[in-house]
Structure 1
Amino acid sequence: MNPPAPEGHTPGPWPPPPGLLGVTRSQDSESVGLGWSQRFCISDQLTGDANATGPQITVAVDAAPLKIKAYFNDTADLPCLFTNSQNLSMSELVVFWQNQEASVLYELYLGKEKPDNVNRKYMGRTSFDWENWTLRLHNIQIKDQGSYQCFIHHKKPKGMVLIYQMNSDLSVLANFSQPEIIEISNITENLCRNLTCSSIQGYPEPKKMSFWLKTENSTTVYDGVMQKSQDNVTELYNVSISLSVSLPAVTSNMTIICVLQTEPMKTELFSSPFYIDPKVPPFQPPDYTVWIATAIPLTLAIGIPLILRYISCRRKKQQQPGVSNERGESVFVLPADCHFVATSQSAAF
């Protein structure tokens, strides 16, 4: 990617054509301490003055981008490994970083921060380390991964001269949670233990997820179909896998572990072990339908005769004349086969 035209550049093509610059190139592996690089010897003709005879300025451009990794919601360091062999003052330099879309992250103009050209999505997210020539990008998101460039220009009386450029490739990672095995409550008719394993909030997409079934004599790896979903906002992944274990086939103690293989770190995440003992039957929730089916007929068989008996006794009681006792209470004499007694207060005559 061509560097942007620096502030103060006179109108015309940017970058200027090689014929105008009179550029000579040489390979110098120690120019910036990052391995192979290119050095460009550019004269003051960069300003467009063909008669200029000033001293030549060396421009170091790193051929291979520096690989940088940062974690989600953390901070990424974007270096600009400028040696400043000429001991130039910050008041003479214009330093800025931009992404692969030429959006400016940060600009330091003649020793002062200049936010005018900074893209709003980077506002308040950067800080500059003056001693190490490093820009720190805070609150890293998945969408921040990509290529970045830093540029350093020397502001001279006749214009701006590019003296250093460095490229970086940023990769963003997010650690998946420890896989967790959960048993599904329902049990199938053929006595299977249904398990699911899940891991959430990770990036990039993992390579594989599997169950390891360990018995006393063997270990079996089950590579099922990994289900995955990606959050529309954070772009983080959630993954899961399912397993059904047939209990009749389990003849000895079994230990089940869920394993997640991540990219690009090539690491493996292990769940806590899940144990199956063939001597212990799996928990089955009580079947309330049997209880209900038994209770309803029993209630009807006992309750209906009692209700009918009570109604019959009430009718007989109403037909029997009452006898007043000394206190004016009417005593109702019920038939011998009814065991209900009722009294009522009556006025004395």
Structure 2
Amino acid sequence: MNLGLLHPESIPEDIAASETGSLDKEISVMEVCTIFLYAMILLPGIAASVHQVKSFLNHTAYLSCYFPNPQKTDIKEFIVFWQKGDEVVHEVYYGQEKYDNLSPKYINRTKMDMDKWTLQLLNAGIVDEGQYKCIIIQRRDKKSPKVIYTSECSLYIFANYSQPEIVRLHTGELKPNKYLNLSCSSSGGYPEPKQMTWLISRENRTLRLMRHMDVSQDAVTKLYSVTTKLNITVPANTFTNISCLLHLGEQLGNLVSVPLGVEIPGEEMEQVKIDFLGPLTAVIVLITLSLVFVILKKKRNSSPTNQSVSLVV
């Protein structure tokens, strides 16, 4: 049964020997591990409940031991280990931070706030999500080192999604009773969102529509992208406001797109255009004929005068 104990190679051998050399014999690394196991099983209340820790992507995550330290003992009296599964995340050895036994991916990424018993995990990434265990060991007088406290916390990483964006999927002019095709997308977020909702508002009423949401995850960054589509008819001569709402859960809340306003002219308005075009054409024709008549009349009036001038010459 895996109790999340320290690996033998991660435990400094000198914790088994007295600093003054007063112990009759050194305690082997395996014996120390046995002490850990024995303490985990027999000490009542040694393991506290799992605490939840939340951090944004590429920010510092703060993992507390939640150690009450009722006797206000100096941290120099303890050995403190942080573990994630089989990996050693951080080690404080009698008040001094040690890095010899750390897992490579945590080197130069951790430091301990010894006043608050809190581990700072720098530049936290999605791969850092998971359960962490804090183990505190103390050696009292000439006795063997003993686990006096453990606690666990689960780290959750969050990344902000982009504002949802609505895109028209069709070209050309919208016609009454024809379908309006739209898509709404958001990307670069974590964890996977709950759902996307379309909000259709017209005449002081709002309709909520749920449509299938396509979800994809980047293989490298582990960030999500989501898209949903809408295919509806929009009534003529009525202004319609369309928005897209992305539900991200309690931590990140909801994101809403910029509204898209749509208004399609009806057949009556088109008929008005046709009726107006007829009289306008008639007026243009009438004006043209009038101009032609005036020009011809002027030519007729000027013809006798020209002939008279020719005879005199």
Distance in 2 of aligned mates of 1:181 and 1:21: 55
Please name the residue that 1:263 is paired with.
249
Please name the residue that 2:95 is paired with.
111
Please name the residue that 1:14 is paired with.
33
Contact kept in structure 1, 2:135 and 2:150, CA below 8 Å: yes
Pick from 138, 148, 152 the counterpart of residue 136 of structure 2.
152
Please name the residue that 1:168 is paired with.
153
* TM-score of the aligned structures, taking structure 1 as reference length: 0.63
Contact kept in structure 2, 1:230 and 1:236, CA below 8 Å: yes
Equivalent pairs, count: 245
Answering whether residue 5 of structure 2 is matched by residue 3 of structure 1, we say yes
Please name the residue that 2:51 is paired with.
66
Contact kept in structure 2, 1:204 and 1:263, CA below 8 Å: no
Distance in 2 of aligned mates of 1:242 and 1:2: 46
Pick from 226, 229, 233 the counterpart of residue 220 of structure 2.
233
Distance in 2 of aligned mates of 1:217 and 1:242: 24
Distance in 2 of aligned mates of 1:67 and 1:122: 20
Answering whether residue 103 of structure 2 is matched by residue 84 of structure 1, we say no
For residue 110 of structure 1, report the CA deviation from its aligned partner.
Answer: 1.9
Pick from 214, 217, 223 the counterpart of residue 201 of structure 2.
214
Structure possessing the higher radius of gyration over alpha carbons: 1
Contact kept in structure 1, 2:236 and 2:265, CA below 8 Å: no
| Pair 16,188 (structure 1): closer, same or farther in 2 beyond 3 Å | farther
Distance in 2 of aligned mates of 1:189 and 1:280: 11
Contact kept in structure 2, 1:204 and 1:264, CA below 8 Å: no
Contact kept in structure 2, 1:2 and 1:15, CA below 8 Å: no
SS at match of 2:192: coil
| Pair 89,174 (structure 1): closer, same or farther in 2 beyond 3 Å | same
Answering whether residue 162 of structure 2 is matched by residue 177 of structure 1, we say yes
Please name the residue that 1:246 is paired with.
233
Contact kept in structure 1, 2:237 and 2:266, CA below 8 Å: no
Mean Cα deviation higher: 215-224 or 128-137: 215-224
Distance in 2 of aligned mates of 1:264 and 1:22: 37
In structure 2, give the amino acid aligned to 1:259. L
Distance in 2 of aligned mates of 1:184 and 1:112: 62
* TM-score of the aligned structures, taking structure 2 as reference length: 0.69
Distance in 1 of aligned mates of 2:250 and 2:113: 29
| Pair 160,257 (structure 1): closer, same or farther in 2 beyond 3 Å | same
RMSD of Structure 2 on Structure 1 (CA): 3.0
Q: Point out which structure has higher relative CO (alpha carbons under 8 A, 6+ apart).
A: 2
Distance in 1 of aligned mates of 2:61 and 2:102: 18
Please name the residue that 2:281 is paired with.
none
In structure 2, give the amino acid aligned to 1:257. S
SS at match of 2:105: helix
Which blocks of at least 5 consecutive residues in structure 2 are unaligned? Answer: 17-26, 268-313
| Pair 280,173 (structure 1): closer, same or farther in 2 beyond 3 Å | farther
In structure 2, give the amino acid aligned to 1:167. E
Pick from 197, 201, 211 the counterpart of residue 188 of structure 2.
201
SS at match of 1:84: coil
| Pair 108,178 (structure 1): closer, same or farther in 2 beyond 3 Å | same
| Pair 250,155 (structure 1): closer, same or farther in 2 beyond 3 Å | farther
In structure 1, give the amino acid aligned to 2:241. T
| Pair 186,155 (structure 1): closer, same or farther in 2 beyond 3 Å | same
Distance in 2 of aligned mates of 1:266 and 1:125: 26
| Pair 188,207 (structure 1): closer, same or farther in 2 beyond 3 Å | farther
Please name the residue that 2:80 is paired with.
95
SS at match of 1:14: helix
